[in-house]
Structure 1
């Protein structure tokens, strides 16, 4: 137990929303939270061990802010701890990534390509896009052509460019800093998932009738 001067000192902590650790890793206070404290206790505080990951934890651990405050006050009894921000931190246990199989990658790419192509074709068929293009071509040129390639080829190129601009990516290169609609939807999904995990995996947030 660390001794602190007689005058009570205040420590401010802000839990991180999500943290990644390796299996059997030890979670320190500096890993899971941002800390503001006096210089004489800052380093010991940051090195305070809060939790050790075990095999029973599987891939998700939720650490409640009350557990963090309890560990701090147990080691530094004369400190006043002020918590700012989220009440839980989600710890993701990350194992070593396996190499992606090339045949599996090609299979998934092929399925996605075929699925996207079918979706685009079905959409064009539902809205009678070919008939619309033929009608527009006839209105502009005054001629009837069953295959107005001079109109359809630029349209196809524009469709591909429009998808690139919409998703804001060319392979791994981002066109600008604005998030794409897909990234926004993935972000909202991750927030909902984190909220679910924080409520259902955090043992401190619920108490059953048969609990002691």
Structure 2
């Protein structure tokens, strides 16, 4: 059993340009201590300028590299068969003017969206009708309903996004975080398929 090694690729990792990737960077290994560290330090890939933003490492390349150096080692691969490597390129910091412009655009865009929605469903008329039913009086601006409604709308958005600024209310993910996770999964799968096609194209062309 000491010659058996279990290997599981990570789904996604982030590296910097010109970085050298070893097996421990892209995979979790369970093996006997006498060769575990040597396997983890095997070089798998060297990031270059031609790689642009993404690289896909297939498990066959990892297995081939290990077998070339440790022919007597029995390898049991687990989990995903490919690892997506995202190359992080440093970008210039956003200027305060640009940040404020984006913030104002999002703020007024969200405000107009809420106002247009309320206008479409005639929310003011609904409040007037409810106020008349409860009090028996007609009121053009039923603030008794509109003020609590506005406060509740804000609180509802806080609960929906599960955040107060950067502080999370509880450990449960918000619907937005779930959708972002699903989007990231689909994006990763697309990038893996795209990079595989590019790699196959280069191989067939050569």
TM-score when scaled to structure 2?
0.94
RMSD over aligned Cα, in angstroms? 1.9
Residue of structure 1 aligned with 2:36, choices 31, 34, 42: 42
Contact 1:11 1:81 in 2 (8 A): yes
Moved over 4 A (4+): 203-212
Give the Å deviation of 1:209. Answer: 10
Residue of structure 2 aligned with 1:64, choices 58, 66, 71: 58
**C-alpha separation in 1, matches of 2:27 and 2:63:** 11
TM-score when scaled to structure 1?
0.92
**C-alpha separation in 1, matches of 2:178 and 2:28:** 26
Which ranges in structure 1 are unaligned for 5 or more consecutive residues? 1-6
Report the 3-state secondary structure (helix = DSSP H, G, I; strand = E; otherwise coil) of the residue aligned with 2:104: helix
Give the Å deviation of 1:100. Answer: 1.8
User: Structure 1's 21 and 210: CA in aligned 2 closer, same or farther, altered over 3 A?
Assistant: closer
Aligned length: 206
User: Structure 1's 59 and 186: CA in aligned 2 closer, same or farther, altered over 3 A?
Assistant: same
Tell whether 2:169 aligns with 1:164: no
**C-alpha separation in 1, matches of 2:126 and 2:199:** 58
**C-alpha separation in 2, matches of 1:104 and 1:115:** 16
Q: How does 1:48-127 map to 2 (within 5 A)?
A: 48-127=42-121
Which ranges in structure 2 are unaligned for 5 or more consecutive residues? none
User: Structure 1's 208 and 99: CA in aligned 2 closer, same or farther, altered over 3 A?
Assistant: closer
How far does the alpha carbon of each residue in 1:39-62 deviate from its partner, in whole angstroms, 9 at most, with x for none? 100110111111010000011110
More helix by share: 2
Tell whether 2:116 aligns with 1:133: no
